[in-house]
Amino acid sequence: MTALIDAYDAALFDLDGVIYLGPQAVPGAVAATDELARRGVKLMYVTNNAARSAQTVVDQLVSLGFAADLDSVLTSAQVAAAKLEEELPAGAKVLVAGTDNLRGLLAQAGLQPVDGADDGPVAVVLGYDPAMGWPRLDEAALAVQRGAAWYATNDDRSRPTERGIVLGVGGMIAAIRTAVGGQPTTFGKPFRPMMDVARARTGAERPIFVGDRIDTDIIGANNAAMDSLMVFTGAHGKRDLLAAGPGQRPTHIGWDVSALLQPRREVGRTAQVESGEVVLTQVPPTREGQLDALWDVANLAWASGADAQAALDQLAELP
């Protein structure tokens, strides 16, 4: 059997919603990544979450049964610190609206983290912090208003957890933009810096990115001219897939990361266009069959512009 991964030399994984959901591993993810490593595939875990250190991420992965070390984990905070070290003069004051992890990485990069707009920062960096308070956002907004360059580790609007979807750093960005306008320079997915660093660190020539979100993972892979696998264990589902426009569509879909070890999903004959609508010629009874049908429906809808809502409603097993 030829597996999907056989066409690639590295697999880059988003974490939240793909590898784990909060404190729980996604079912089957440990076994799948173990098998990929056994086959000699380079693995890297790429997360937009800037709140935690890379070592903390490694510790969580190992505690859940994954094989991981610092060389296999990349965070948006690491990318932000490396890029700002290149862009800002040594010792430059940077207002940090994020966790101690982000502050520490910026300090290691030779920059001076500060807390307030009155401290004279030349730049503001936003990163996800579950303890973020309104006064800290006020200071960031004031610094941006006074001319500080504005950066963000990432712009995820939400985060999947074991309890459901919660707010991401995109909410912080929206609040500041509402107050003072502008848009930060962003380092994490879907922007190129993070994807380029991940590719360089693995040395991969043919990487595939595995993610659960269209807006960060899939668009990020497309922006980096990288193939992608969209999985349905996290934030986005069938309606998000159908709504994806050019430049937003995955190369492959699968239930979870184990799809890398299965044959490539081809477009079949379970759907057709009739009177401007995509209709299913059969409703597969199995979950895997329904995913095959979804891929048929998506490709037909994208190619023809036909409405596919009725067909989606029939795929009851899909999120």
Residue among 60, 80, 250, 50 nearest 291 (CA): 250
DSSP state of 16: B
Per-residue three-class SS string for 247-284:
CCCCCEEECCHHHHHCCCCCCCCCEEEECCEEEECCCC
**Alpha-carbon dihedral 231, 232, 233, 237, rounded to 10 degrees:** 130
Alpha helices in 109-266 (DSSP H): 134-145, 170-180, 192-202, 219-223, 238-243
SS3 76: helix
**Alpha-carbon dihedral 45, 46, 52, 55, rounded to 10 degrees:** 40
**Residue 184 dihedral angles phi and psi, to the nearest 5°:** -75, 155
CA–CA dist 141, 305 (Å, integer): 42
| Active site residues per annotation | 14, 16
Helix axes 192-202, 76-87, angle to 10 degrees: 100
